[in-house]
Amino acid sequence: MPSRPGAGRLGRAARAAFTATLPGLLAVTVAFAETNPLELAIEATYLVKFGAFVEWPAGAFPTATSPFYLCVAGTHPFGSLLDRAAAGASVDRHPIAIRRLDAVPRDVGCHILFVGAGGQPPLDAALAAVRGKPVLTVTAVPPAEPRKGIVNFVMQNNHVRFAIDDRQAAADGLRISSQLLTLAVNLHSR
Amino acid sequence: MPIRGGLASLWRSAPLIVAATAVLLLITIVLVVYSGERSYRTQKANEAASDARILASTVVAALTFDDRKAAQTYVNALAANPEIAAAAVYDAKGALFASFRRTAQVILPAAAPAVGLSLGGDRITVTAAVLQGRSSVGRVYVREIVEPLAQRYQRYAVIGVFVVMAALVTAVLGIAQSELARTNRQLAEANFSLQSEIASRERAEAAFRQAQKMEAIGQLTGGVAHDFNNILQVVLGNLGLVENQLGAGRIADLRALRSIQAAIRAAERAAVLTRQLLAFSRRQPLEPKPLEVNKLIGGMSNLLHRTLGETIEVESVLGARLWQVLADENQLESAILNLAVNARDAMPTGGKLTIETANAFLDEAYAAREEDVRAGQYVVIAVTDTGTGMPREVIDKAFDPFFTTKDVGQGTGLGLSQVYGFIKQSGGHAKIYSEVGEGTTVKLYLPRLAAAASAAEDRIGGEAPLPRGNREVILVVEDEPDVRDFVGGMLRELGYDVIEAENGSAALKVAEARADIALLFTDVGLPGGLNGRQLAEEAQRRRPGIKILYTTGYARNAIVHQGRLDPGVELINKPFTYAALAARIRAVLDAGALH
C-alpha cells in the first residue's frame, strides 16, 4: 500500500470500526446475501411509498398533520437510504418520520413497521407484538418462510416485487389499495 | 272566388317558397353540421381526456412501484376501445414505461410530451400527469382516432339528404293535400251545379211535355172547333133568317118565333163553347187594342156582382198608374169572368173575391223557371178567392181543356183553358197559386204596351135598328156553299147587291169585270191557290177603292200573325149573327166614306 497520510488514518479507523461491527456485518451478510445496494434503495423507496396505497383506520393519526411513523426494527441494511427516500416525503399531509426500534412494544405507534430478520427484536416477536394493531408490517424474507409481514419483498426477474397478505391486513384493520394489490406477486387475499 | 285566387297565387309563388325553403334548409344543415362538428370534437376531446385520466389514476401504483407489467396491463385494457389509436405511460423521468399501438404506423413520442391536449386532423392526443398525492410519478399519453373529416361530411351529407328528402316529401304532401282539398271543393261545386242543372233540366222537360200536350190538344180542339163553327154558322144564320122573317110576319107565328129564339140561344151557347175551345187552342182571331185594365175591371163591377151572388164579397184593389196593355178586350173580360165563376164555385158557402191589379216585372230567373215566359214588364191581374183551394195535382191540370172538378153537367172544363189560351196568345203568362182550405189566386200577366197607342173606343151601341144596305155591290167569296148561300141571302135581305164566288180566281174575274164592287167579303182560308189575303190584295190592286172584310172560323193564316190581326184589317169571326154582320158590313163601308 503506498504511504499516504490520509489513507493511513482512514484505514485505521475503518479497521477499528470493522472489527467492532464484524459480528453484525456478518449477520447482515448472511441475511441479505443476495441484496445489492440498488435493490435496497428500491426497497427503501417502496417503504416510503406504501403509505399512499394503504388506508389506516380513524384514530391512527391524532391530527391531520401528525407524523407518519415509518419504523424499522431488527437487522436491516437500509442505513441512510431510508432517510434519503423519506426526506420531505409525506403521506397525505402527514410528514414521514423514521423511527429505528430496538424493541417493539404493543403500543409502538408505528404506521409501517419493517422488521429485518435476525437481531433484536426477533422477527417473530416483533410481528406478534403488533398483530391486531393497524400497522403495515413489511419483511424481506424468502417466500417459503412462514413468518412474514403483510408485505414481503421478493425478487422476481431481477426486480424488487412484493407479496401481500391482504387477509392479515384486514385482520389488522388496514385497507390496501387495489392498485397496490394488483402489483402483488403473491396475493393472499382476504 | 277569393279563396281560389289565394290558392292560385300560392301555387304560382310555389317555386319561390320552395327556393326559400331550400335556402333555409341549407343554412340549417350548415348550422347543424357546424354545431355537430364542434360537439363531436368536444366530445372526442372529453373522451380522450377521460381515458387519459382513467389510465393515469390506474397506473399510479405501477409507476410508483416500477411495475411495467402491471402498467402494460392497464395500457392494454385501453385497447379494447377501438377509438384509441395509442396509449403510453411515461415514468417520472419521461421515459416510455408501457405502451400500446393499434397499428405500426402510429408513432409514439419517445419522451413524455407536455401535459395537455392537441388536436390533429385525424387524431386527438391528451397527455396527463400521473399524480401520487401531490407529486407526479409519470405521464400518460392517449391518442384517440378522430373520424376523418371526409367521412364525417359524408355522414352529414347523408343526414342532409334525408332532411331534404323529408322536407320535400312534406312539401309535396302538403301541396298534394291542398290540391286535393281544392279538387274536392271543385268537385262538390261541380256536383252541386250538376244537380241544379239536372233539376232545371227536369223542370224544362216537364214544361216542354206540358207545352207539347197543350199544343196537341190545341190542334185537336182547334180543328173540332173550326168544323163546329161552320156548322153553327149555318144553323145560326138560317135560324136568324127564319126569326127575321117570322118577326116581320104575323102574330099567329109567335110560338114558332119563341122556339126559333130558343134554338138561336142554344146555338149561341154552342158558339161560345167553340170560341172557348179556339181560345184555348190560341187560334181565335184576337182583336187586341190598347187597354186600360183598371177601367175594364171597373166596368165589370155589375157583371161580377150579378155572377157571384149575394154571399160573395167582391173587392177590387186597383194599382195606381197602371201601364196599358195590348189585349182583346172581350177575351180579357171573358177570362176575368171565367176566373170569377171558378172562384164562386170554390166558395159554395160564400167568401170574398179580390181582384188586384199592379205593374210587375218578371225577371230572368222567373222566366227561366216557368214554361214559355219572357222576362219583362207586365200588368198583373190577380184574382183571389177564399175558397177550398186546389191540391198540387189539380193545379197541374187546371189549364187542360175539359179538365174539371165540377160535377158532370156543371162545368165544361173550358173556363181556365180559355184563360190560359187567351193569355198565352196575348204574349202573357198565367199562374195559379193555391192552398187547400185557404183559397186560390190566379195571376194573369199581360205584357206592357210598349208604344202608347191611342185607344180608339169604338163600341157599337145597343138596340138600334139593323143598319141596312143601299144597293152597294158586295162580292162574297166563300168555299162552303151553305155558308156562302146564307151570307148571300142575309146581305140581300139587308139591301145589298150580292155577287157570290167560290174561290179566289173566280172572284178576281168578277172583280175585273165589275167596277161597281164596293166591298169584298171573303173567307180567309180559300181553296185554289189564292187565299183570302192574296185575293184581297189583288182585288185592291185592280180596284183601289174596294173595301175588304174578312171572315174566318179558324185564324192561323195570312191575316193573323201570332194570333193578332194586322193593322187596318177588318175581320168578323164565324159564327156571326145576322145583326153582327149587318153592323159590321155597314161599319166597313162607312169607314171609307168618312175619309
pLDDT tens per residue across span B526-545: 877 788 888 888 888 888 88
Choose, out of B57, B60, B64, the residue to mutate when testing the contact with A (most A CBs < 10 Å): B64
Whether omega for the bond prior to residue A142 falls within 30 degrees of 0, making it cis, is no
Distance CA B379, CA B318 (A): 11
What's the confidence (pLDDT) of residue A28? 40
What is residue B497's DSSP assignment?
A: E
- C-alpha dihedral sign at A161, A166, A167, A171: positive
From chain A residues 93-132, the ones with a CB under 8 A of any chain B CB are none
DSSP symbols for B435-480: ETTTEEEEEEEEEBPSS-PPP---PPPSSPPPP---S-EEEEE-SS
In degrees and rounded to multiples of 5, residue A133 shows phi and psi of: -100, 150
Contact A90 B60 (CB under 8 A): no
CA atoms within 13 A of residue B174's CA, in its CB half-sphere: 12
Nearest in space to B551 (alpha carbons), one of B520, B572, B580: B572
pTM summary value: 0.42
Within 8 A by CB and 6+ apart from B74, the residues are B55, B58, B59, B62, B89, B98
Distance CA B44, CA B96 (A): 25
Percent of chain B predicted with pLDDT > 90? 12
At B460, the pLDDT band (50, 70, 90 cuts) reads: very low
The position carrying cell 398525492 is B133
Tens-place pLDDT, residues B120-154: 777 889 999 998 878 888 999 999 888 777 777 78
- Length of chain B counted residue by residue: 595
| CA closest to B60 among chain A residues | A179
Q: Chain-wide mean pLDDT for chain B?
A: 81
When pLDDT is averaged across residues B323-332 and rounded to a whole number, the result is: 86
Contact B60 A183 (CB under 8 A): no
Contacts of A183 in chain B (CB under 8 A): 61-62, 65, 67, 70
At B413, the pLDDT band (50, 70, 90 cuts) reads: low
Contacts of A162 in chain B (CB under 8 A): 65
Which one of A90, A91, A183 has the shortest CB-CB distance to B65?
A183
> Which pairs with CB-CB distance under 8 Å and at least 24 residues apart come from B456-463?
B456/B289, B460/B583, B460/B587
Quick check: B414 and B277 in contact, CB under 8 A? yes
Work out the number of other CB atoms within 10 angstroms of the CB of residue B286.
25
Strands ordered across the beta sheet of B351-362: B312-318, B351-362, B376-385, B439-447, B429-435
Contacts of A52 in chain B (CB under 8 A): 60, 64, 132-133
Q: Is A63 on the interface with B (CB under 8 A)?
A: no
Tens-place pLDDT, residues A23-52: 444 444 334 444 677 888 888 999 999 998
Which H helix or E strand runs over B490?
A: helix B481-493
Look at B118 and B152; give whichever has higher pLDDT.
B118
| CA closest to B72 among chain A residues | A183
Which one of B70, B132, B133 has the shortest CB-CB distance to A183?
B70
Q: Is A185 on the interface with B (CB under 8 A)?
A: no
Quick check: B563 and B425 in contact, CB under 8 A? yes
Which one of B61, B66, B73 has the shortest CB-CB distance to A180?
B61
What's the confidence (pLDDT) of residue A55? 93
What is residue A51's DSSP assignment?
A: G
Nearest in space to B62 (alpha carbons), one of B76, B43, B51, B49: B76
